[in-house]
Structure 1
Amino acid sequence: MASTIAALRKGDMAAFENLYQALGPKLYAFALRLCGQKEDAEEIVQEVFLKVWERRHLLDEGQNLDGYLYSIARNMVYNRARRRVYEFAFTEYMAATGTGTGCFTEEAVAYRDLVKLLEEACATLPPVRRRVFEMSRLEGKSNSEIAQLLHTSNSNIENHLNKALKFIKERFRDYETAYALLLLVFLPDVSANLPLVAMNA
């Protein structure tokens, strides 16, 4: 693999094509397993190899190239899932508040600020708890699926998830609309049946 990386660093297109042929199908299967959408998986594979080519001069001949590509793909899947959840939450929030188009920009800016705060709060969670939280709320996996993937018990997953939710809610308790957004983003089964006034209470 070191020779492949050395060739890539020199801009060897043949080496790049060989890498694509060798790892493309495996990377596609990996992305498909994570995101569940064929079109998304195909796009992610294309984006991964594009990024590798654009950053080929930064590759280290001693690094695990396979692992590097899988890591890029995994991050892309999670980022796409996160964006879609936020977009859905924002749409629901705008509809629930009855915000007019004239206030859209102001609301969007406020929303992005809250999203940033939310991501910062998630980043402070312990690694395993953050992973459980993301798998549950961003990837839509059930507690039993997460327990199986992480080789632990359902009760342990529930414990991590409850503590994560309690921590994040506490971080947002001083923001008037943040709790509503939090429910819309991470507790859709609850927020779907609650009016905005109740969520802000």
Structure 2
Amino acid sequence: MQEYYYCYNNEVELLQALKSGDGTAVKAVFSKYFRPLCQYAEKLTGRLESAEDIVADTFVKLWHRREQFESLENVRHFLYRVARNAALNELRNEGRHQATHTELGNLYQEAHFSAEDLEEEEIRAELLAEIYQEVENLPDKCREIFKLLFFNGLSTEEVSIQLGIMPQTVRNQKSRAIQLLRAQLLKKGHLLAAWSLLFLLPHS
């Protein structure tokens, strides 16, 4: 959990501080949700820069409506709903990669989740944020190979050729990275992220 959360004894105290406009409370909510929201918005728009702009604007809206929330769960749902709507509006207004109206309509329709689907997307985004944060703490070679496999979508053979190493070395580093990630996630209490590590990541 982000350091700002340690300033509060419980979520009720944090919520009250947020509603009163306390700067540390705002930082606490921002630090918890900014990265997951960016990943969520990027999934919809396909562009990280647009996603970051959307999320920044989402937090501005949160600030203006901070006094209206009854729980942190309400805050969470508000953030994802606003980010989702903004991302979909951007797709409708600008189009994506010169998409036709039909293609864009299909994309928009696919992105309209039910309440249950939206809840799953929120959880998935937050779990991925926990995993991605730990990826940055991997040893250099592990991190490089892991990103090429899971983030860039390269195959074991392609990574082997690109880095000039044996395919078995790639597989060994991949296994080591997964073991290290799972150990770190468990150590920090992220049990669900550790358990679902391979299910959440793109397949390599």
Q: Shorter-chain TM-score: what band?
A: 0.3 to 0.5
Q: Larger C-alpha radius of gyration, 1 or 2? A: 1
